[in-house]
Amino acid sequence: MTESPKSAPEPDNPVRLPVRAGFGRFLILVTVFVCAACGLVYELELVALASYLVGDSVTQASVVLSVMVFAMGVGSLLAKWLRCRAAVGFGAVEAVLALLGGCSAMALYACFAWCGQSRSALVGFSFAIGVLIGAEVPLLMTLIQRVRRQDPGGAVADLFAADYVGALVGGLAFPFLLLPAFGQLTGALVTGAVNAVAGGALVLWLFRRDLSARSRWALIVTNAVVLALLAAGAVLTPSFERAARQAVYGPEVRVAVRTGVQEVVLTGGRTRGRPLSLFLDGRLQVSGHDELRYHEALIHPAMAAGPHRRVRGAGRRRRARGPRG
C-alpha cells in the first residue's frame, strides 16, 4: 500500500470561514459562474478578432477551440501540484488569467498591425488561457470540499452546473452587451477586471483565515498591479486603435466608424496617387484603383445599346448630341 502524497489536500481539516459554510459554498459557486463567463468571453474575443484581422472564421474558430480545449486538460493536470495550497493557487491563477485574457485582444491586434502576422500569438494566447481555465475546476473542487464535505459526484455536479450556466451568460453577453458597449479591445479589458475582482475577492475575503500574511499581501499587490495595468490599457485603447489602424491601412485614414453591425474605414484621397478606398470589417470593398472597371461594367453596355439624346449622370443633366436624322 502506497502512502498518499504530501501535496494532497486535507478535506478532514475544514477551513475557517467568516460566514456560515452554506453561504460560503454559495459564494464559491457564484465565483465559478463569473469565472466561466469571463473564460468564454476570452475565447470568443480571440475568435472574433482573429476572424476580423485574417478572415476565414472557420479556421480561426477551429484553431482557438482545439488549442484551448487541449490546454484545459494540461491545466487540470498541472493544478494537482497546487491543491495543497488551493486558496493561494486559485488567487494566483485568476490574477494571471485576468491579465492575459484582458490584454490578449490588444496583443493580437498589435502582432497583426506591426508584425504582419498573428497566428503564433493566437495559438500562444489560446494555449496559455486554456491552461489557466483548466486549472480552475480542480482548485475550486478542493476549496468547496474544504468548506463542507460533500459526495464527490454532487460537488462535481454543482460546480459544472455553475460553470455551464456562466458560460451561457458569457456567450450571450459578448455579442449583445460587451461589443456594442465597449468594443473588442475595451470589452476584453473590462472582462479581465471582473475576473480579477471575482477571484481576488473570494480568496482574500472568504479564505483570508487560511492565508499567511505573506501570501495575503502577495495576492493583494498582484491583483492591484493587474487592475492597474488593465485600467491603463482601457485609457490607452483609443490611441492604440488609431496607431494600429494607421499601421494596417496606411497613414491616410480619413474615417473610422464602428456601427452596431460592422467597422467602416475610409482611406486615401488626400494626396495624388492615393485613391479613396472603403473597407468593411477590414475587407476592401471599393477602391479608386478600380474606378474604370466599375464604369465599364455599368455604363458602357447601356451606352452601346443605341443612340442617346439625354444622359443623366451624377445628379446632373447632360445633353448628348447624337446623329441627326
Q: Once rounded to an integer, what is the mean pLDDT over residues 10-24?
A: 72
Q: Thinking of the domain 21-244, which architecture would CATH place it in?
A: Up-down Bundle (1.20)
Summarised one tens digit per residue, pLDDT across range 63-88 is 999 999 999 999 999 999 998 899 99
More confident residue, 55 or 142: 142
Retrieve residue 19's grid coordinates: 460566514
Query: Contact, 279 vs 145, CB < 8 A?
Result: no
Percent of the chain with pLDDT over 90: 56
Summarised one tens digit per residue, pLDDT across range 100-133 is 999 999 999 999 999 988 899 999 999 999 999 9
pTM of the model: 0.82
pLDDT of res. 227: 98
pLDDT of res. 4: 44
Element (H, E) at 118: none
pLDDT of 58 higher than 60: yes
Instruction: Locate all alpha helices (DSSP H) within 13-117, ordered by sequence.
Output: 21-54, 57-78, 86-110
pLDDT of res. 157: 93
Q: How confident is the model at residue 245 (pLDDT cuts 50, 70, 90)?
A: confident
Q: How confident is the model at residue 252 (pLDDT cuts 50, 70, 90)?
A: confident
Nearest Cα neighbor of 141 from 127, 129, 152, 128 is: 152
Retrieve residue 104's grid coordinates: 490578449
pLDDT of 1 higher than 70: no
Q: Can you say whether the dihedral through the CA atoms of 154, 65, 96, 35 is positive or negative? A: negative
pLDDT of res. 232: 98
Retrieve residue 127's grid coordinates: 494555449
Could you tell me how many helices (H) and strands (E) the chain has, helices first? 9, 6
Q: Where are the domains of the chain?
A: 21-244, 253-306
∠ CA 19-21-22 to the nearest 5 degrees?
105
What amino acid occupies position 145? Answer: Q
> Between the CA of residue 69 and those of 42, 43, 183, 322, what are the distances in Å?
13, 10, 26, 71
Summarised one tens digit per residue, pLDDT across range 129-186 is 999 999 999 999 999 988 888 788 888 999 999 999 999 999 999 999 999 899 999 9
Mean pLDDT of the chain: 86
Composition of the chain by helix, strand, coil, percent to 5:
70, 10, 20
| Phi and psi based region of residue 315 (left: phi greater than 0; alpha: psi -120 to 50; beta: remaining) | left
- Round the CA-based radius of gyration of the chain to a whole number and report it: 28
Q: What are phi and psi of 256, to 5 degrees?
A: -140, 110
Q: Once rounded to an integer, what is the mean pLDDT over residues 317-321?
A: 49
**Residue 181 to residue 190: CA distance in whole angstroms:** 11
pLDDT of 7 higher than 80: no
Summarised one tens digit per residue, pLDDT across range 181-204 is 999 999 999 999 999 999 999 999
pLDDT of res. 265: 84
pLDDT of res. 42: 98
More confident residue, 1 or 147: 147
pLDDT of 311 higher than 70: no
∠ CA 131-76-206 to the nearest 5 degrees?
90
pLDDT of res. 309: 66
